[in-house]
Structure 1
């Protein structure tokens, strides 16, 4: 997946994670926090690909 794809995927995961964190269920809140963190990681991955090229 290229730079743009990683950034979009990261944004989607962050948004879904934030929504899940407003749940009444503690397990869902934890899952949301993890998903938001995953999204941030995907965005960093996209930024790195943008700086170094998509072939890494």
Structure 2
């Protein structure tokens, strides 16, 4: 299973890049938001795993 948030981060990077190439500030902002959402999901998943005694690398 993929890490929590990885898909959101990847989608965000793609949106941000597309927004920069096309000069679309809204798309660039949406990309940054998606990346932040992905990072938040990863952090929450890591915290949950730590509380349950699971240790993950990366």
**Which residue of structure 1 aligns with residue 33 of structure 2?**
34
Aligned positions, number: 48
Q: Structure 2 CA distance, aligned partners of 1:21 and 1:38?
A: 14
TM-score (norm 1): 0.76
Q: Which runs of 4+ in 1 moved over 4 A?
A: none
Q: Which has the higher contact order (CA 8 A, sep 6+)?
A: 1
Normalized per residue, which structure has more helix? 1
Deviation, structure 1 residue 22: 1.0
Task: Give the RMSD, CA atoms, in angstroms.
Answer: 1.6
TM-score (norm 2): 0.74
Structure 2, unaligned runs of 5 or more: 53-58
